[in-house]
A and B are shown apart, each in its own frame.
Chain A
Amino acid sequence: GAVVSQHPSRVICKSGTSVKIECRSLDFQATTMFWYRQFPKQSLMLMATSNEGSKATYEQGVEKDKFLINHASLTLSTLTVTSAHPEDSSFYICSARDQALGRPFTEAFFGQGTRLTVV
């Protein structure tokens, strides 16, 4: 199946700094990518939909200025957590769908996830 690569897998940063997480589709083009947040022992919560060449669409309650998303190419989306605080510590995971497959309900492929710890 298609491969989505997410980097870094783990990051520890100091409170007040910014952290960038990359999500790449390695063998397909993804006009749309998705960013999720997952708290321990909970389900995935969609944060935003990243659209290539346009602004991201954020879910209700997600701060646009805190979580900056850039989708500059058909294979790369980035999530930047700005001015990170300990409450931003979480597992962040991206996904993308290979829309070239032509089926409306193709499975989404997920990155490996990034475990962010803000100290």
Chain B
Amino acid sequence: AQKITQTQPGMFVQEKEAVTLDCTYDTSDPSYGLFWYKQPSSGEMIFLIYQGSYDQQNATEGRYSLNFQKARKSANLVISASQLGDSAMYFCAMRGVRDNFNKFYFGSGTKLNVKP
């Protein structure tokens, strides 16, 4: 079965510093995709970054980068130069070929608080 684990229920970071949010996963799918979403208090889910299991390079999107270590089954999100607006819940998610690429598996989330 697919499983996503986020072990940090809450994190604090000082404004302008970098922070790493942890995500590990478990799957037997030969091919899968890993995603990070941000959910502010308003509730909408904002797509941040995607990493394919066969991608050779770690994904980057602006201040977001994904530290993908396939052998360790980890896909940590790194946010550089944190901003106050980064305070939100962050969810790691995965979808794989076994579910016809449709079904998302979400982690339990990490609440990030950016301090001024």
Q: Is B104 an interface residue (CB 8 A)?
A: yes
What residues of chain B lie closer than 8 Å to A49, measured between beta carbons?
102-103
Q: Which of B32, B47, B102, B111 contacts A107 (CB 8 A)?
A: B47
Q: Is B116 an interface residue (CB 8 A)?
A: no
What residues of chain B lie closer than 8 Å to A108, measured between beta carbons?
47, 104
Asked if residues B91 and A105 are in contact (CB atoms below 8 Å), the reply is no
Q: Closest residue of chain A to B104, judged by CB?
A: A108
Identify 30 residue pairs between A and B in the complex whose beta-carbon atoms are under 8 Å apart, listed by A's number: A32-B102, A34-B104, A41-B111, A42-B108, A43-B91, A43-B106, A43-B107, A44-B104, A44-B106, A46-B103, A49-B102, A49-B103, A91-B43, A93-B45, A95-B45, A104-B31, A104-B97, A105-B95, A107-B35, A107-B50, A108-B47, A108-B104, A109-B47, A110-B37, A110-B44, A110-B45, A112-B42, A112-B43, A113-B43, A113-B44
What residues of chain A lie closer than 8 Å to B111, measured between beta carbons?
41
Cα-based distance from A43 to B102 in the complex (angstroms): 18
Asked if residues A46 and B44 are in contact (CB atoms below 8 Å), the reply is no
B interface vs A, CB < 8 Å? 31-33, 35, 37, 42-45, 47, 50, 52, 91, 95, 97, 101-104, 106-109, 111
Cα-based distance from A3 to B80 in the complex (angstroms): 27
Asked if residues A1 and B47 are in contact (CB atoms below 8 Å), the reply is yes
